[in-house]
Amino acid sequence: MMRFALAAFAFAASAPALPALAQAQTQSPSPSVTPGENAQTIEGILAIVNDQPISYSDVRERASLLLLTLGVEQPNQQQIQQITSQALDELIDEKLQLQEAAEYEVEVTEEDVANAVSDMARQSGLDRDGLMGVLRQSGVDPQSLEAQMRAEIAWRRIMGGLYGSRIRISENQIDERLAQLTAAAQETRYNLSEIFLYTANEQEKQQALDGAQTIIDQLNAGAPFSVAAQRFSSAPTSAAGGEMGLVSLDDVDPAVAEAVRNMDEPGLTDPIVVEDGIYIIAFRGKQDPAETVEVVDLVRLAVENGSEDDLIAANAAADGCEGAVELAENDPNLTATNLDDVRLSDLGPEAQTMINNTEVGQATDIFAMSGSIGVMYLCNRSDDGSNLPSREEVEDQLYGRELAMISRRELRDLRREATIIQRGS
């Protein structure tokens, strides 16, 4: 599913692209129209999706919006054909999405669409009226953008409603992912951004290859990668402008890893063909393994009277870091001290050994301290310098990936089951 750009109009193309599109398409039929048809016929229906038509004017408006997004001011004939094909493909998907919304009685109000437009405008440094003005000045009917947003909102609600509550990210999955990220931090990591063009079959793959080359041409001409990713990418990273961050090559598709590994300096890859689509990768540099420092969060629980029996009893009652703090608040004989972000290497050898032998949430053996005795509760252990995400962030990432995969699969199934008639097919 293609996504709209959140900052598509920060580099609005000038109007000449749009007359050029209309003139060229009137003189030469689009890829979906049988050669030889006259202009009057072209102005009719280009496709029918389950008895609902897509007109030439629909495709022309969407193609104009795509050109504006990419910043193409004077498209050549090949670009026009590729963009027109892309526009028709998007509109077919949106018809299917809105038909599914009607089936499930999912309502998208005018207020929903208006709010989405306002959000886009704010992220582009404009208000809603300013954004609409940019569209009209460039010859783009705002209704084309609103129609796209309506389908996007409806499909997101359907996928969230049908599958959102069914996706369960387990603690084991989070642990496994964090372990992978920790291991990757010890390897050379690559700063990458991605655009992924999903394809359901070989015919779409050839069209996507052509589209990928057009996108690369515009990126090389100065179009922002983040905007192109937001607008065209089917990857979960599209909302973040395609940014993957620092990743190990073991975490990406082998074909992507090979292409990046062979790059001597930052830049764009050629289109990379994988089983279910096309990647465009921006390689921005690499980072050698960083020296990491183990950091721990501790709670030190001590008894004022030095009684080992009292400390053993308190330890049994505390049951973890929070319990130790709470227990000390209600017992004047106990003192609990939070020690956060302690570098393990800054502690003495004996303390390091005790903490290394302690599980998170558990207490160390009893040790002597100035004038008393105490234990250390190990609350958290991490590697400072590895830039690891939090557990919540990892959970959100895993959830987003799974929902995105389900969304692509559902849209692919809708296409396969639908009756889609295109002129010339």
Q: Are residues 28 and 111 in the same domain?
A: yes
| pLDDT value of position 16 | 31
In a domain, 82, yes or no: yes
Has residue 424 been placed in a domain?
no
Residues paired with residue 302 on neighbouring β-strands, in sequence order:
335, 374
The CA distance from 413 to 379, in Å, is: 47
Q: Specify the DSSP class assigned to residue 9.
A: T
pLDDT attached to residue 2: 33
CA distances in angstroms from 32 to 15, 67, 126, 282, listed in the order given: 25, 18, 36, 31
Mark whether 380 and 391 lie in a shared domain.
no
pLDDT band at 179 (very low <50, low <70, confident <90, very high): confident
208 with 277, same domain: the answer is yes
Q: Among the three residues 105, 132, 167, which one is the final residue of a domain in this structure?
A: 167
pLDDT the model gives residue 386: 52
**Which DSSP state fits 26?**
H
Higher-confidence residue of 388 and 324: namely 324
**pLDDT given for residue 291 in this prediction:** 55
Where do we find the tokens 């496709």? 47
Return the amino acid letter for 138: S
401 and 355 together in one domain: no
Are 195 and 70 found together in one domain? no
Say which CATH number the domain at 66 has: 1.10.4030.10
Q: For the CA atoms of 24, 2, 274, 186, what is the dihedral angle to 10 degrees?
A: 130
DSSP bridge partners of 282 = 193, 268
* Enclosing domain of residue 395: 180-290+387-417
Regarding whether 141 and 76 lie in a shared domain, the answer is yes
Instruction: Reply yes or no on whether the pLDDT at 7 is more than 60.
Output: no
Taking CA atoms, 319 is separated from 57, 182, 300, 308, 408, in Å, by 69, 28, 13, 17, 46
pLDDT at 9: 34
Element (H, E) at 403: helix 391-417
Last residue of some domain: 108, 139, 167? 167
The answer to whether residue 227 is domain-embedded is yes
Q: Which of 19-33, 116-130, 147-161, 368-382 has the lowest mean pLDDT?
A: 19-33
On whether both 285 and 394 belong to a single domain, the answer is yes
Q: Is residue 4 part of a domain?
A: no
Cα dihedral 114, 119, 120, 124, rounded to 10, equals 130
Same domain, 201 and 263: yes
60 and 36 within one domain? yes
Please list the residues that pair with 286 across neighbouring strands: 190
Residue 175 resides in a domain: no
Distance (Å, whole) CA 137 – CA 15: 7
Percent of residues, the chain, with pLDDT higher than 90: 32
The lowest-confidence range among 3-17, 174-188, 259-273, 387-401 is: 3-17
Q: What is the per-residue pLDDT for 111?
A: 93
Dihedral sign for Cα 19, 23, 28, 34, please: positive
Distance CA 221, CA 285 (A): 20
Mean pLDDT, the chain, as a whole number?
Answer: 81
Confidence label for 139 from pLDDT (cuts 50, 70 and 90): confident
Sorting pLDDT into bands at 50, 70 and 90, what band is 19?
Answer: very low
**Domain termination site, one of 143, 167, 191:** 167
Strands (DSSP E) contained in 260-401 are: 267-268, 272-274, 277-287, 293-303, 334-343, 367-369, 372-384
In this predicted model, what pLDDT tens digit does every residue of 58-116 receive, in sequence order? Answer: 998 888 888 887 776 677 787 788 788 888 988 999 999 999 999 999 999 999 999 98
Query: How is 179-201 classified by DSSP, letter by letter?
Result: HHHHHHTTS-EEEEEEEEEE-SS
172 is a domain residue: no
Q: Of 173-177, 182-186, 239-243, 330-334, which range is least confident? A: 182-186
- For residue 97, the model assigns a pLDDT of 94
pLDDT reported for residue 241: 82
Domain check: are 23 and 110 in the same one? yes
The answer to the question of residue 1 being in a domain is no
The total number of structural domains in the chain stands at 3
Structure tokens at 315: 């330890």
Measured CA to CA, the distance from residue 296 to residue 307 in angstroms comes to 27
Structural domain includes residue 244: yes
- CA dist., res. 339 & res. 151, Å (int): 51
Cβ contact 366:311 at 8 Å? yes
Whether 410 and 266 share a structural domain: yes
**DSSP E strand stretches across 22-122:** 45-49, 52-55
Examine the domain organization and report whether 125 and 211 are in the same domain: no
pLDDT in tens, 21-61: 344 333 333 333 333 333 334 458 899 999 999 999 899 88
pLDDT tens digit string along 333-372? 998 998 887 878 777 788 888 998 999 989 999 988 777 8
pLDDT over threshold 70, residue 121: yes
Segments in 272-370 forming alpha helices (H): 308-318, 321-329, 349-356
CA–CA dist 73, 13 (Å, integer): 6
